[in-house]
Amino acid sequence: MPRSCVSSVSRRSFLAASAAVTAAGLAPRWAAAGPGVRELRLAAGLGRVHLVGGSDPETAVWAYNGAVPGPEIRLRQGDRLRVTVENRLAEETTVHWHGLRVPNAMDGVPHLTQRPIAPGATFVYEFDLPDAGTYWYHPHQRSFEQVGRGLYGPLIVDEPEPIEVDRDLTWLLDDWRLLPDAQISADFGNFMDASHNGRVGNTVTVNGRIVESFAVRAGERVRLRLINAANARVFGLEFQDHRPQVIALDGQPLAPHAPDSGRVVLGPAMRADLVVDMSGRPGERFTVADRFYRGLEYRLLDLVYDAAPPLRDHPPDAPLRLAANTMPEPDLATAERHDIAFGGGMMGGMMGRGGMRRGMQHAGIWSINGVAATGHLMEPFLTLQRGRSYLLAMHNDTAWHHPMHLHGHAFRVTARNGRPTRDREWQDTVLLAPRERVEVAFVADNPGDWMFHCHILEHQAAGMTGVIRVA
């Protein structure tokens, strides 16, 4: 299996990069701001980071506080967070708190929930954290380029009583399109990416580095928080001879289980919390491989066991089940049903009817219920009553995958292609395979206008976005 799908970055430079994964980003400096309020500053600006490593040059990026990923924001369930965001970019920006059920005015959607933050200006976000879990933050202004150039960071909300593990780690995955000089290819928003499966790159990083090996100790139990921050790449990770248990998806607990066929599939923006018992022996080496795209399999990194004697002989029997979060339970018997169809793309139909090109963005390639969003289209396509239960029956009428994300809420994924799901898992982003039908249910309990869009950021920019109003 090739080391990666990297084509333009040399294999040599790849192999030279053997840095171990370090904690994501730098620890933010907290300021005390009254009881339970955690405060920090995030500056979005230009930076240079060593993505490739070895003797390759640094990569010019856009970054929060100069680092990719940005600082890991880590709080406890029930805390309140206040973040002052300073825009040092040459264009407008915002910050969206992906998966957090924040008040609408704090959601970071330009022209819908706030005015974009102008260059040189600041904006203060402040909200409570009712739920524990693994989340992340990123701009919502021209996301296909701002996220694609490195603006994102992890946001972890700890349970009051976390499960017992030896280490709690975050792997923030990203996929870059680099040129041979290790610089980011500037072809953002091109028609080819927009009309096919988005900007899939050639270089995969973990916590902002190409990682060769990841040191583990025999017998240890690790909680691994995976976050997919890529514009478009879907990951399908397999942990050779290890048996990860999935304990949460998109930050939301579910019954611990081994993933189907041992593969953890994560569409863009999705998260999975795994518990991995390091069952190998001292000195052994195992490959974590990404096998999502057929013919493009690659080795993400190796788990490398150090020489230390096993921490224990048997996996611990401490429970893995996390306490439930605070979403209200939808009432499926009375839930009002709405059908939502996704159309367009190459081989989809919309193209034949003449997708429009608008500068670098290609509005009209993708559609939701026949409407391809253009410009700042912010009229809701669906209005829901606050406090009622809803069932959204989504149909993917295209030849492509789409990770569909709803802001301000989490939903239960109740059925796929007419069959009930394993655990009616809570998610905020659900991956639809080509032609797949997926049903989700939730209580519309958070008032405001909420984005509902594909998280392949090129699809979002090319029409696959809409607004759902909770009145």
By CB under 6 A, name the binding residues for ligand C2O: 96, 98, 138, 140, 269, 405, 407, 451, 453, 455
DSSP letter string over 408-454? T--EEEEEETTEE-SS--EESEEEE-TT-EEEEEEE--S-EEEEEEE
Q: State the nearest-atom distance from the C-beta of 190 to Cu ion, in Å.
A: 16
Q: Is the CB of 4 or the CB of 146 nearer to ligand C2O?
A: 146
**Structure-token pair, residue 469:** 């109003």
Q: State the nearest-atom distance from the C-beta of 292 to Cu ion, in Å.
A: 15
Cβ count within 10 A of residue 421: 15
**Structure-token pair, residue 178:** 């680099």
Q: State the nearest-atom distance from the C-beta of 298 to ligand C2O, in Å.
A: 25
What's the burial of 150, exposed, middle or buried (CB within 10 Å: 0-12/13-18/19+)? buried
Q: State the nearest-atom distance from the C-beta of 177 to ligand C2O, in Å.
A: 20
Whether 455 contacts 404, CB under 8 Å:
yes
Q: State the nearest-atom distance from the C-beta of 451 to ligand C2O, in Å.
A: 5
First to last CA, the chain: 52
Q: Which helix (H) or strand (E) holds 461?
A: helix 457-461
Q: Choose from Cu ion, ligand C2O, none: what does 456 bind? Cβ within 5-8 Å by kind.
A: Cu ion
Q: Choose from Cu ion, ligand C2O, none: what does 405 bind? Cβ within 5-8 Å by kind.
A: ligand C2O
Binding interface with Cu ion (CB under 5 A) = 402, 454, 456, 459
Q: Choose from Cu ion, ligand C2O, none: what does 453 bind? Cβ within 5-8 Å by kind.
A: ligand C2O
Q: Choose from Cu ion, ligand C2O, none: what does 362 bind? Cβ within 5-8 Å by kind.
A: none
Q: Choose from Cu ion, ligand C2O, none: what does 269 bind? Cβ within 5-8 Å by kind.
A: ligand C2O
Total residue length of the chain: 471
| Measured distance CA(67)–CA(46) in Å, rounded | 10
Whether 325 contacts 234, CB under 8 Å:
no
Q: Choose from ligand C2O, Cu ion, none: what does 223 bind? Cβ within 5-8 Å by kind.
A: none
Q: CA distances (Å), 451 to each of 101, 375, 436, in order?
A: 13, 14, 22
Q: State the nearest-atom distance from the C-beta of 402 to Cu ion, in Å.
A: 3
Q: Choose from ligand C2O, Cu ion, none: what does 459 bind? Cβ within 5-8 Å by kind.
A: Cu ion
Q: Is the CB of 205 or the CB of 228 nearer to ligand C2O?
A: 228
Q: Is the CB of 97 or the CB of 214 nearer to ligand C2O?
A: 97
Q: Is the CB of 188 or the CB of 286 nearer to ligand C2O?
A: 188
| Measured distance CA(21)–CA(52) in Å, rounded | 13
Q: Is the CB of 222 or the CB of 230 nearer to ligand C2O?
A: 230
Backbone angles phi, psi at 460, to 5 degrees: -55, -45
Q: Is the CB of 224 or the CB of 454 nearer to Cu ion?
A: 454
Q: Choose from Cu ion, ligand C2O, none: what does 407 bind? Cβ within 5-8 Å by kind.
A: ligand C2O
Omega of the bond leading into 71 within 30 degrees of 0 (cis): no
What's the burial of 162, exposed, middle or buried (CB within 10 Å: 0-12/13-18/19+)? middle
Q: Is the CB of 149 or the CB of 407 nearer to ligand C2O?
A: 407
Q: State the nearest-atom distance from the C-beta of 99 to ligand C2O, in Å.
A: 8
Q: State the nearest-atom distance from the C-beta of 327 to Cu ion, in Å.
A: 25
Q: Is the CB of 141 or the CB of 414 nearer to ligand C2O?
A: 141
CA atoms within 13 A on the CB side of 196: 7
Q: Is the CB of 269 or the CB of 275 nearer to ligand C2O?
A: 269
Q: Is the CB of 171 or the CB of 452 nearer to ligand C2O?
A: 452
Cα angle vertex 196, ends 195, 202, to 5°?
A: 125
Q: Is the CB of 140 or the CB of 242 nearer to ligand C2O?
A: 140
> Helix, strand, coil shares of the chain as percentages rounded to 5?
5, 40, 50
Q: State the nearest-atom distance from the C-beta of 121 to ligand C2O, in Å.
A: 21
Whether 364 contacts 374, CB under 8 Å:
yes
Q: State the nearest-atom distance from the C-beta of 456 to ligand C2O, in Å.
A: 11
Q: Choose from Cu ion, ligand C2O, none: what does 454 bind? Cβ within 5-8 Å by kind.
A: Cu ion
Q: Choose from ligand C2O, Cu ion, none: what does 363 bind? Cβ within 5-8 Å by kind.
A: none
Q: State the nearest-atom distance from the C-beta of 342 to Cu ion, in Å.
A: 7
| Measured distance CA(56)–CA(207) in Å, rounded | 18
Cβ count within 10 A of residue 259: 18
Looking at residue 91, its amino acid is E
Cα angle vertex 426, ends 395, 348, to 5°?
A: 20
Strands 203-206 and 167-176: antiparallel
Pick from 278, 273, 270, 339: nearest CA to 308: 278
